[in-house]
Amino acid sequence: MTRKEALKSLTVGTAGLALGASCNESSASSKKEKDDDSMVLKGNINHSACRWCYSKIPLEELIDSMKDMGLKAIDLLQPEEWKVALDRDVAVSMSFGSSLGIGKGFNDPQYHEQLLKDYEKIFQQAEDMGVKNIICFSGNRNGISDQEGLENCAVGLEPVAKLAEKHNVNLIMELLNSKRNHPDYQCDKTPWGVALVDKVGSENFKLLYDIYHMQIMEGDVIDTIKEFHPYFAHYHTGGVPGRHEIDETQELYYPAIMKAIIETGYTGYVAQEFVPAGPEPLASLKAAVKVCDV
């Protein structure tokens, strides 16, 4: 399942979240009792994980299992799902934003009015419930040049960023690769995203540096983090190639990357966003958190 497919699935609704809650709680409790290798995290990284990567696991069960692992937050929930996490004392480290999705974004003026309405609504909800970070996207190029897309994004983002300031929330645009996963996506290079942040000029608008995506597009991950970390408000992980487990099958050495992030003074969240290929997704998540807990 891709994130696009997961996003469509998750937007259908969460009416069934409460079904079988007692069974899920019992299952999570049983799992905890059987797990003799409980993790004690070092506290240098605020760990999170993206919900869509574990879409087959009921949300309550996933959150309880993450909490048992020592994770403080869950990433990329829909607003109607926030309460499930918050009631379990787990933060929402990043929320989905507009229903327009990834391909229709701020680089196209025809979507500016809808985006403003969507984010005005979600910012109010986020302020009320204590959710700080909301994701946004540039949109696909569709023939729009990078310079024109930059200008269009800045125009569309200006009033939305002011709303973010008013509600004390952060609007965060994700850097995605256009080579393998998101063809034609415009915000696909760090310098372009940095230029946009400078042009918008708001402390409440920054970038999500997705390590997996930017390794594919430009590499040079550690030096990029060192140079541009003031522009990054959030991080995602993922194994390259394949977007699978953080293990010996991939080309990135995550302990060094995590140390580089820590050295910048970063205090936000690092969210695991790999698609488990192994037979036990939660075991894969636990292993990845161990690798990244430096």
pLDDT digits (tens, 9 = 90+) for 151-188: 999 999 999 999 999 999 999 999 999 999 999 999 99
User: What pLDDT does 279 receive?
Assistant: 96
Residue 21: the pLDDT is 45
Between 3.40.1190.20, 3.20.20.150, 3.90.1150.170, 1.10.3720.10, what CATH number should domain 47-292 receive?
3.20.20.150
The pLDDT value recorded for residue 241 is 96
Closest CA to 266 of 234, 239, 237, 219: 234
Residues 239-251: pLDDT tens digits?
999 999 999 999 9
Give the percent of the chain with pLDDT over 90: 86
Yes or no: say if 63 and 18 are a contact pair by the CB < 8 Å rule.
Answer: no
Say which residue the tokens 């809650």 belong to.
21
Question: What does the domain layout of the chain look like in residue ranges?
Answer: 47-292
